């Protein structure tokens, strides 16, 4: 039994991964420092890299290495993929209460998917390591070469491929990219505050609701689906 049993398969939820389901900040930042070192520079630990969780890899890599006068983005991306696969992906934790929520949703008729800027194969590996891959109807993300990670286009693709009803679908994420991607596809976007975006970023992005803690997410989902049912 699930507390979401009164919903139907017309209802669906898209979940961001980093900063929403998993706390991946340490693994990503340490991997970026390894990339900087491999390019021949000493990582400047005073540079704030908390913002790097969420954007597509090519976009964030160009900005990170520009602080060192670097333009070798493609080489940096290749290094990042190797280092992250070797160590970074193991430096992730599931946020408290998220595993329980995902397993409860998986027992319900609601269909759930990932919509992550990570390559889909890597998202699947991480979720498998935490025993959560089978909770999802499908794991969607960027391509193996990191293309296709922009949220508006990705969400549109998921809606089309999975036959989702926008008026019965929610997008849940911690960054402005998640909210803008949701709104570009006429979905409600829930912003979560335990990730890396914060109140100001998510409010400016127009989040339909801000959720403070993971244990409040189930009630927020029910409330948003109830609001959609009145439209």
In sequence order, what are the residues at sequence separation of 6 or more whose Cβ sits closer than 8 angstroms to the Cβ of residue 85? 122
Sign (positive or negative) of CA dihedral 62, 68, 72, 74: negative
Our answer to whether residue 16 is catalytic in this structure is: yes
Q: Strands 169-173 and 12-15: what pairing?
A: parallel
Instruction: Answer whether 202's CB lies under 8 Å from 166's CB.
Output: no
Q: Annotated catalytic residue: which of 16, 18, 23, 178?
A: 16
Which residues participate in catalysis according to the annotation? 16
């Amino acid at each position: 039994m699930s507390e979401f049993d009164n919903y139907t398969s017309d209802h669906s939820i898209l979940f961001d991964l980093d900063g929403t389901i998993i706390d991946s900040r340490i693994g990503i930042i340490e991997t970026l420092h390894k990339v900087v070192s491999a390019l021949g520079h000493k990582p400047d630990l005073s540079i704030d890299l908390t913002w790097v969780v969420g954007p597509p890899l090519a976009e964030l890599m160009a900005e990170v290495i520009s602080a060192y006068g670097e333009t070798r983005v493609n080489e940096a991306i290749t290094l990042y993929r190797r280092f992250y696969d070797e160590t970074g992906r193991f430096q992730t934790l599931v946020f408290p209460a998220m595993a329980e929520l995902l397993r409860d949703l998986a027992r319900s008729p609601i269909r759930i998917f990932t919509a992550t800027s990570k390559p889909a194969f890597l998202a699947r590996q991480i979720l498998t390591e935490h025993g959560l891959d089978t909770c999802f109807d499908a794991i969607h993300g960027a391509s193996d070469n990191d293309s296709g990670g922009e949220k508006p286009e990705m969400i549109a693709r998921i809606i089309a491929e999975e036959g989702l009803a926008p008026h019965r679908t929610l997008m849940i994420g911690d960054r402005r990219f998640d909210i803008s991607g949701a709104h570009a596809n006429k979905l409600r976007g829930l912003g979560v505050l335990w990730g890396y975006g914060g109140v100001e970023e998510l409010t400016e992005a127009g989040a339909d609701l801000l959720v403070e803690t993971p244990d409040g997410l189930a009630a927020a989902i029910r409330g948003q689906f109830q609001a959609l049912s009145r439209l």
